[in-house]
Amino acid sequence: MSASPKILLVKLSSLGDVLHNLPIVWDLRTRLPDAQIDWVVEEAYVHLLSPLLSREGFKGIDRIIPFGLRRWKKNLFSLSTWKAFFAFRKALQETTYDVLIETQGLLKSAVVCSLAKKSSNVVIAGLANATEFSGYEPLARLFYSQSVQVPTQCHAVDRSRWVMCSALDWPLLERSSAPQFYPKEFVGGVAQTTVEGLKSPYVLCFHSTARAAKRWSNSHWIALGKELTSRGYQVVFPWGNAAERALSESLAAQISGAFVPPAFSIEEAFAVISGADLTVGVDTGLTHLAAVLNKPTVEIYCDSPRWKTEAYWSSNICNLGDMQSPPSVAEVLRASLMLLQQT
């Protein structure tokens, strides 16, 4: 393979999965500084990748190719939908790729690989098997030239690295090789939030997640919120939809001085998280964003395995609980106060 191959990363969604795929960009840049690295991602998550775009004096991702499947499915028979799809395909085929790294293991992402323009000796690497508690569609293997076997219990970051290393015939990266997510200059330079109503010092509480069983109990959030409020912190309950907003308002109503902010975008979330003294959250994308930004974070696991996504790369992060074993209020409070004392 040449020293400047053209590489396509395919990780479409969701928020946490995209974040845990970021380290392979830096792994690739370290070994192949002159490679072209493009990434296909669902259009809702483009802002997660924007800080990695190459610019003068900095090499990261060369091109982000937005994929609108979620939007297209809502209007499948619309002419505008098909125009958008063909525009996506045209953008995808502007480059002839030497290596495709597909780390999602789903049919939709494998089909994206099939649409890409490829060199004659292309390597298309993807997952050969499912990992526990992760989505996987075996038919995706039909679209790969290399199907990569990974451990059934494999951290999301490590899983992406297994596929990447196989695609490029590299030795496996060990856990001692700490993952990088965002450029240090970006993390240090995120502007402080201007969301009206936020008052420093504040603690973000990400209580909602797509699956109800992964939630920490309302009574626990209220007890934690009261303890933090008594120590001078504004407790903040963000939300992402109408049901989550109603729950945030219910929790905040029972904690003196608690605040429910207006809705904010993923792009705005960088500033909201960066301005917080602490983030406490369940196993959900915005909690993982705080962790990859290396901000003081308490990750709460209630009904998902901790090994799958726990932040193992920083002393700024405490991972508590596990599958069907949520942590107590005392445990979360103790971890929260420890991290707050470090700030």
Q: What is the pLDDT of residues 144-175, one digit of tens each?
A: 999 999 999 999 999 999 999 999 999 998 77
Under 8 Å between Cβ of 229 and 338? no
CA-to-CA separations, 23 to 56, 69, 156, 179, 340, in angstroms, rounded: 21, 25, 11, 5, 27
pLDDT digits (tens, 9 = 90+) for 302-322: 999 999 999 999 999 999 999
Rounded Cα distance between 126 and 111, Å, is 12
Q: Note whether residue 70 is domain-resident.
A: yes
- Supply the pLDDT for residue 32: 97
**Region 55-81 average pLDDT:** 94
Read off the pLDDT of residues 97-151 as tens digits, 9 standing for 90 and up: 999 999 999 999 999 999 999 999 999 999 999 999 999 999 999 999 999 999 9
Instruction: Provide the domain limits for residue 234.
Output: 194-342
> Same domain, yes or no, for 183 and 203?
no
Mean pLDDT of the chain: 95
pLDDT of residue 191: 80
> What CA–CA distance (Å, rounded) separates 115 from 87?
12
How far is it, in rounded angstroms, from Cα 42 to Cα 65?
Answer: 9
**Banded model confidence at residue 192, pLDDT cuts 50, 70, 90:** confident
Is residue 30 a part of any domain in this protein? yes
Q: pLDDT tens, 235-293?
A: 999 999 999 999 999 999 999 999 999 999 999 999 999 999 999 999 999 999 999 99
CATH of the domain at 73: 3.40.50.2000
- Does the predicted model carry a pTM greater than 0.75? yes
**Residue 176 CA, distance from chain mean position:** 21
144: which residues sit within 8 A by CB, 6+ positions away? 102, 110, 113, 124, 125, 126
Q: What pLDDT is attached to residue 195? A: 85
Say whether both 132 and 275 belong to one domain. no
What is the C-alpha separation between 42 and 53, in angstroms, rounded? 16
Q: Is residue 1 part of a domain?
A: no
Mean pLDDT over 10-38 rounds to 97
Q: Are residues 226 and 183 in the same domain?
A: no
Write down the pLDDT at residue 176: 67
Backbone angles phi, psi at 104, to 5 degrees: -100, -35
In whole angstroms, what is the distance from residue 103 CA to residue 17 CA?
Answer: 9
- Tokens 């995120």 correspond to 190
> How many CB atoms are located within 10 Å of the residue 133 CB?
14
Q: Which of 233, 323, 246, 245 is closest to 275 using CA atoms?
A: 233
Cα(159)–Cα(116) distance, rounded to whole angstroms?
A: 23
- My answer on whether 107 and 60 are in the same domain is yes
Q: Are residues 138 and 204 in the same domain?
A: no
CA 23 to centroid of chain Cα atoms:
11
Q: Are residues 113 and 14 part of one domain?
A: yes
Same domain, 200 and 288: yes
Question: Can you give the pLDDT at residue 254?
Answer: 98
For residue range 195-219, list pLDDT tens digits in order: 889 999 999 999 999 889 999 999 9
Computed over its alpha carbons, how large is the radius of gyration of the chain? 21
Q: What is the spatial distance between Cα 53 and Cα 63, in angstroms, rounded to a whole number? A: 7
**Statement: residue 231 has pLDDT above 90:** yes
Q: Is the pLDDT at 193 greater than 80, yes or no?
A: no
- Domain count across the chain: 2
Domain end residue (candidates: 187, 208, 232): 187
Report whether 316 contacts 274 (CB < 8 A): no
Check: CB of residue 151 under 8 Å from CB of residue 131: yes
Give the C-alpha separation, 71 to 73, whole Å: 6
**Contact between 282 and 215 (Cβ < 8 Å):** yes
Residue 340 pLDDT = 97
166: which 2 tokens?
A: 């196989």
Nearest to 17 by CA among 273, 237, 292: 292
**In terms of domains, do 231 and 297 share one?**
yes
pLDDT score at 241: 95
What are the tokens at 158?
């490590």
Shared-domain flag, residues 270 and 250: yes
Which residue's structure tokens are 């193992």?
312
Regarding whether 148 and 280 lie in a shared domain, the answer is no
Question: Where is the domain boundary, 121, 156, 187?
Answer: 187
Clarify whether residues 273 and 258 are in a common domain: yes
Are 38 and 119 in a shared domain? Answer: yes
User: How buried is 315 (Cβ within 10 angstroms: 0-12 exposed, 13-18 middle, 19+ buried)?
Assistant: exposed
User: Quick one: which H or E segment has residue 121?
Assistant: strand 117-127
Report the pLDDT value the prediction gives residue 222, as an integer from 0 to 100: 98
Domain assignment present for 314? yes
Look at residue 60 and tell me if it is in a domain: yes
Among 171, 187, 203, identify where a domain stops.
187
Distance CA 143, CA 127 (A): 11
